[in-house]
Amino acid sequence: MDSKEKCNLYPELPVKKSDDNQGSPPPPYESPESESSDDVVLPIPVEGMALVIKAADFAARRHRFQKRKDHKGTPYINHPLGVAYILTNEANIYDPVTLAAAILHDTVEDTKTTIDEINSLFGPEVAHIVDECTDDKSLPKDVRKKLQIETAASHSFKAKLIHLADKLYNIRDLSRNVPQGWDTRRIKNYYKWCREVVNQIRGTNETLEKALDKIFDEKC
């Protein structure tokens, strides 16, 4: 059997099996050769890198006591970092504002962070995108889900990118870490709802949409 298997969350990333070369140091990183100049990835400017790292530090602090709803109790910070990973490694999005907003996208919805605080620390554009990605927790869950479908098309391009990456991360995660208490019907309804949201923002990023559609076709 092949010594490597694909990670469900990041299909392009091979991961070693747990019993393969335990204790061995990881091989040195080697950047893949580009087939053309169009494939060359330009580095994020220093200021942009600082913004992304600041966002990661802030999100890690605000989500530090939170866990995902799966049976493993996965640290919640894995999710926003995973969304940013999908944007960079699959959608080739390197805009620092988009990445910072992706990392921060659940801080207002799921912690005591405010939009004013995000605006003060990260600027108005990041704050606006985070606001677009934030559900109003004072509303019933079914109303919030309906509003996501109804409002997604009116959101900014950068917010739409985050919506796509967020949904992709979540449905991949669902295939390996089912939230506690979810039965088959609820899982299927979640896939259908995600597809409805994605249908409102098609044309945003072909790569992410194809990855989502592949899963929708299998699960819906």
Would the CA dihedral through 182, 175, 201, 152 be positive or negative? positive
Q: Over the chain, what is the mean pLDDT?
A: 86
Q: What are phi and psi of 14, to 5 degrees?
A: -75, 145
Q: According to the model, what pLDDT value does residue 176 have? A: 86
Q: According to the model, what pLDDT value does residue 19 have? A: 43
Q: According to the model, what pLDDT value does residue 166 have? A: 99
Of 23-27, 149-153, 161-165, 191-195, the range with the lowest mean pLDDT is: 23-27
Average pLDDT over every residue of 142-155: 98
Rounded distance, CA 174 to CA 192, Å? Answer: 13
CATH number for domain 44-219, candidates 3.40.50.2300, 1.10.3210.10, 3.40.30.10, 3.20.20.120: 1.10.3210.10
pLDDT band for position 11 (cuts 50, 70, 90): low
| 136, 170 Cβ separation under 8 angstroms | no
For the stretch 53-93, pLDDT in tens is 999 999 999 999 999 988 888 999 999 999 999 999 999 99
Average pLDDT over every residue of 167-181: 92
Residues 6+ apart with CB under 8 A from 215: 168, 171, 172, 175, 191
pLDDT band for position 106 (cuts 50, 70, 90): very high
DSSP 32-96: PPPSSGGGPPPPPPHHHHHHHHHHHHHHHHHTTT-B-SBTT--BTTHHHHHHHHHHHHTS----H
| 208, 83 Cβ separation under 8 angstroms | no
- How far does CA 107 lie from the centroid of its chain? 13
Residue 39 has pLDDT above 60, yes or no: no
Q: Which residues are annotated as catalytic?
A: 109-110
Q: According to the model, what pLDDT value does residue 23 have? A: 42
Q: How many helices (H) and strands (E) does the chain have?
A: 10, 2
Residue 49 has pLDDT above 50, yes or no: yes
For the stretch 109-131, pLDDT in tens is 999 999 999 999 999 999 999 99
pTM: 0.81
Rounded distance, CA 126 to CA 121, Å? Answer: 9
The closest alpha carbon to 126, from 159, 151, 94, 86, belongs to 159
Residue for token pair 């990392």? 103
CB-count burial class (<10 Å; 0-12, 13-18, 19+) for 2: exposed
Rounded distance, CA 126 to CA 99, Å? Answer: 9
Rounded distance, CA 113 to CA 122, Å? Answer: 13
Residues 6+ apart with CB under 8 A from 24: none
Share of the chain above pLDDT 90, in %: 72
Residue for token pair 């959101």? 155
